Amino acid sequence: MSKILKIEPGMIVRLKKPHPCGGHQWEIMRSGVDIKARCTTCGRIVNVPRHKFQRRIKDISSD
């Protein structure tokens, strides 16, 4: 069973693979069962299931 990370709105996370626009950083907008995040490079908003999003996280900063 995987550990649940504390992900809160306003946090900036760096993912392992880049977004097609070339950005690695995402701002968390909403957390719950799904994570709503906005790419800080192009502004695209996505909803991703929490378990998939957690596997893709490389680094977390709470800026």
Per-residue pLDDT tens for 1-57? 467 778 899 999 999 999 999 999 999 999 999 999 999 999 999 999 999 999 999
For the chain, the domain total comes to: 1
Is 5 inside any structural domain? no
Contact 25, 13 (CB under 8 A): yes
Is 41 a member of any domain?
A: yes
- Rounded-to-integer distance, Cα 22 and Cα 62, Å: 22
Domain range for 21 is 12-61
pTM above 0.85, yes or no: no
